[in-house]
Amino acid sequence: MNESILLDPTAERAPAERARLARPDSLNGKVVGLLDISKPRGNVFLDRIEEQLSGMGIEVKRYAKPTFTRIAPTELKQQIAAEVDLLVEGLAD
Amino acid sequence: MITPAGLAAHPRLPMLSFYRDKHEQPKGPDMTLSLPDGLIVVAKADCPTCRLIEPLLAELDQSGSLTVLVQDSEEYAAALPGTRYDRTLEQSFRLGIEFVPTLIRVEQGVEVERTYGWHKEDWRVLSGIGDLGEDLPVMRPGCGSKTLDPGIAEELELAFGDVQLQSREIDISSADDAIEACYERGWSDGLPVVPPTPVRVLRMLKGTERAGDQVLGLMPPDLVPCTVEKVAINAVMAGCKPEYMPVLLAAVEAALTDEFGLHGLTCTTMFGSPMIVVNGPITRAIGMNSGVNALGQGNRANATIGRALQLIVRNVGGGRPGEIDRSAMGNPGKYSFCFAEAEDSDWLPLAQERGVPAGRSAVTLFPGEGVQGIVDQKSRDPESLARSFALSLRTVDHAKLAMAGDAVLAVSPEHARVFIDAGWSKQRLREELEQLLLAPGADLVAGAGGITEGIPDRFKDKQVPKFRPGGLLIVRVGGTAGLFSAIIAGWAASGPVGSSPVTCEVTS
């Protein structure tokens, strides 16, 4: 059976496309995570971001994936979700 | 076996269109084309009767125009010019074929008669060839049309029929997994749901005679029209069989009554949630559990009907926990809480007590909390057991509260027998319990017993009933071994102030 089309079980009050999470109005009081996916020089980019955020008085936490070739380990994802409000990651080198 | 056109013919036959090739099919309303004059044979290569008559097709072709539609093969009757492989089954569907072989005679673009299977006389009359199939047996039954193979009919109806599903189609082709896509969209209660594809929804709608666009009422808390189709979509997700639809629809109707007060029940910080008790012959027809572990897991009808109602509250009404659903703790019944009463000739079933005629099926919706067991393995006379029940029932809401929450007393068969053997009807038990549950107001008022919780001081000189009139429901349910019964407490805002039990007959 083709399962690529589903019928909406809801009252259809939300758009058919899922909306992205709303961006916060301000970073005040937020904790920002910086995820290094372990591609070369990603740390250079993230070091600079940290420098700027810290300069604004925003708390920053750093994380790194063991390798960019695989998705992040579950433990790391859970740790990030528990510790930060936002996450920035450098996707390419 | 020859049937006049219009009797055996598909109900859609007057609108019939006939295409040699799907690409010729025009779009739009004026797609009524005439059938090709002459004879049409619809056959299946793996049908022995179709193979039996295959040698006759050349003779039929020579006597006039012959079209052969083959459902499963390109090689059957391949030498004849009028043979077409009906690969998509569109033409078989449009002709309303139920059996193969089917022989149809068409005059001036209109079917005039048809026969199916091999009946020598019928084929001779219909074809006008007096000695057709001289060497063949008089009669051979045919086979079922491929259009009616399991799982095929709804696919064809969606592809070629006039099905009108109203709900928005969501394309999840980019998703890795349809079940995960349902989770991501927030359609699940936490357990996996069956992805509601159009075919599954159409199958579900076959379980009811009601039209998909029939509006059952406004579903709180968002007060949006709840259609039969939305019920069917959520029933698919819950894992229902189509045959459960009449029960589910009755439960939804009950939930949408003003008396049931679903809006408040969904929003409350307390525990309650719709619980479904089903009575009558439908419970046996669809295999509901009223016996061992009836309030628990393991029976598809119990599990999925109750779950479907919860999914409808969530998805159609928008009653999601943490949003409008503000329950402080919830209860496990909010996944699903549905069971059948173990009806017994000596005790009036709940639905009949509530006015439904004997022999009919009904659902009773109750704003149930969890299950509190009553263990009494020693009482052997009704007086002792009734006192046991009454003492236990005092704990509904709080032992010092009264006339707040309703309750269902679920009496096990072994306990019920104690009463039945002594000649106590359900009504007698209820009346005895009402007497036993009268309490001196002085014991219940706020502050009494050193407990601040309690009823208002104005009751201190009165005898106070535990339940409001009609607030104690009794059902017989459970396995035949176990001297245990159970209390299912209702919402503390029971009655006109909040929610009253509602019984709805199961119709269609």
pLDDT score recorded for residue A91: 76
HEC readout, B418-457: HHHHCCCCHHHHHHHHHHHCCEEHHHHECCHHHCCCCECH
| Residues in contact with A22: Cβ distance below 8 Å, sequence separation at least 6, in sequence order | none
pLDDT score recorded for residue B27: 39
Alpha-carbon gap: B169 to the closest alpha carbon of chain A (Å): 5
A5 to B178: CB separation less than 8 angstroms, yes or no: no
B198 to A5: CB separation less than 8 angstroms, yes or no: yes
From chain A, pick out residues whose CB is under 8 angstroms from the CB of B197: 1-3, 5-7
pLDDT of residue B111 exceeding 90: yes
| Residues in contact with B407: Cβ distance below 8 Å, sequence separation at least 6, in sequence order | B393, B396, B467, B471, B472, B473, B487, B488, B489, B490
Mean of pLDDT over chain B: 92
pLDDT tens for residues B119-146?
999 999 999 999 999 999 999 999 999 9
Domain boundaries, chain B: 3-160, 178-505
Distance from CA of residue B351 to its chain's centroid? 19
B233 to A16: CB separation less than 8 angstroms, yes or no: no
> Which residues does A contribute to its contact with B (CB < 8 Å)?
1-13, 16, 18
Q: Which residues of A42-69 are buried (b: 16+ CB within 10 A; e: fewer)?
A: bbebbeeebeebeeeebebeebbbeebe
Instruction: Out of A4, A5, A10, name the one closest to residue B315 (CB).
Output: A10
Q: What is the mean pLDDT of residues B379-388?
A: 98
pLDDT score recorded for residue B345: 94
pLDDT score recorded for residue A19: 76
CB B242 within 8 A of CB B281: no
Q: What is the mean pLDDT of residues B354-366?
A: 97
CB B63 within 8 A of CB B127: yes
Q: Which residues lie across from B474 on neighbouring strands?
A: B409
Q: Give the residue from B492, B400, B399, B403 showing the smallest Cα distance to B447.
A: B400
| Residues in contact with B278: Cβ distance below 8 Å, sequence separation at least 6, in sequence order | B247, B288, B305, B338, B339, B340, B341, B361, B362, B363, B364, B506
Alpha-carbon gap: A46 to the closest alpha carbon of chain B (Å): 30
Residue B284 to residues B143, B197, B239, B290, B341, Cα–Cα distance (Å): 33, 29, 19, 9, 11
Alpha-carbon gap: A33 to the closest alpha carbon of chain B (Å): 23
From chain B, pick out residues whose CB is under 8 angstroms from the CB of A11: 219, 222, 224, 230, 315-318
pLDDT of residue B189 exceeding 60: yes
| Residues in contact with A14: Cβ distance below 8 Å, sequence separation at least 6, in sequence order | none
- Confidence (pTM): 0.85
Degrees (nearest 5) of the Cα angle B82, B85, B87? 155
CB B500 within 8 A of CB B260: yes
Number of Cα atoms under 13 Å in the Cβ half of residue B358: 5
From chain A, pick out residues whose CB is under 8 angstroms from the CB of B201: 7
| Residues in contact with A29: Cβ distance below 8 Å, sequence separation at least 6, in sequence order | none
pLDDT score recorded for residue A93: 60
CB B196 within 8 A of CB A6: yes
pLDDT of residue A18 exceeding 90: no
Confidence of residue B248 (pLDDT cuts 50, 70, 90): very high
B222 to A11: CB separation less than 8 angstroms, yes or no: yes
Instruction: Out of A2, A4, A7, name the one closest to residue B196 (CB).
Output: A7
The SS3 of residue A20 is coil
pLDDT score recorded for residue B461: 98
B165 to A7: CB separation less than 8 angstroms, yes or no: yes
pLDDT tens for residues B85-100?
999 999 999 999 999 9
From chain A, pick out residues whose CB is under 8 angstroms from the CB of B222: 11, 13
From chain A, pick out residues whose CB is under 8 angstroms from the CB of B237: 9
pLDDT more than 70, % of chain B: 93
Q: Is pLDDT larger for residue B76 or for residue A40?
A: B76
pLDDT score recorded for residue B34: 66
Alpha-carbon gap: B170 to the closest alpha carbon of chain A (Å): 5
Confidence of residue B508 (pLDDT cuts 50, 70, 90): confident
A2 to B167: CB separation less than 8 angstroms, yes or no: no
pLDDT score recorded for residue B151: 83
CB B290 within 8 A of CB B283: yes
Distance CA B44, CA B102 (A): 10
Instruction: Out of A4, A10, A16, name the one closest to residue B316 (CB).
Output: A10
Residue matched to tokens 């029976």: B299
Q: What is the DSSP string of B289-310?
A: --STTTTSS--HHHHHHHHHHH
Q: What is the mean pLDDT of residues B282-292?
A: 97
B187 to A16: CB separation less than 8 angstroms, yes or no: no
B233 to A7: CB separation less than 8 angstroms, yes or no: yes
Amino acid at B208: T
> Which residues does B contribute to its contact with A (CB < 8 Å)?
151, 165, 167-173, 178, 181-182, 184-185, 187, 195-201, 219, 222, 224, 229-230, 233-234, 237, 311, 315-318
| Residues in contact with B116: Cβ distance below 8 Å, sequence separation at least 6, in sequence order | B1, B8, B98, B99, B100, B101, B102, B103, B142
Distance CA B475, CA B277 (A): 9
Residue B172 to residues A5, A7, A14, A16, B163, Cα–Cα distance (Å): 6, 10, 16, 10, 22
| Residues in contact with B290: Cβ distance below 8 Å, sequence separation at least 6, in sequence order | B283, B339, B340, B341, B342, B343, B477
Mutation target among A2, A4, A5, A6 for the B interface, most CBs of B within 10 A: A6
Mutation target among A2, A7, A13, A18 for the B interface, most CBs of B within 10 A: A7
Range of lowest pLDDT (B124-133, B146-155, B212-221, B444-453):
B146-155
Q: Give burial (CB, 10 Å; 0-12/13-18/19+) of A91.
A: exposed
pLDDT score recorded for residue B288: 98
A4 to B171: CB separation less than 8 angstroms, yes or no: yes
| Conformational region of residue B243, where left means phi above 0, alpha means psi within -120 to 50, and beta covers everything else | alpha
pLDDT score recorded for residue A48: 95
Instruction: Out of A1, A4, A10, name the one closest to residue B172 (CB).
Output: A4
Biggest alpha carbon–alpha carbon distance for chain B: 103
Residue B287 to residues B284, B297, B306, B333, Cα–Cα distance (Å): 5, 14, 14, 20
pLDDT tens for residues B13-55?
333 344 433 344 443 333 444 688 999 999 999 999 999 999 9
Domain B3-160 has CATH 3.40.30.10: yes
Q: Is pLDDT larger for residue B465 or for residue B176?
A: B465
A5 to B171: CB separation less than 8 angstroms, yes or no: yes
**CA dihedral for B152, B157, B159, B160, sign (positive or negative):** positive
Range of lowest pLDDT (B150-164, B348-362, B490-504):
B150-164
pLDDT of residue B2 exceeding 70: no
**CA dihedral for A74, A75, A77, A81, sign (positive or negative):** positive
pLDDT tens for residues B227-245?
999 999 999 999 999 999 9
- Tokens coding B192: 């996996």
CB B417 within 8 A of CB B394: no
Q: ipTM for the complex?
A: 0.79
pLDDT score recorded for residue A92: 67
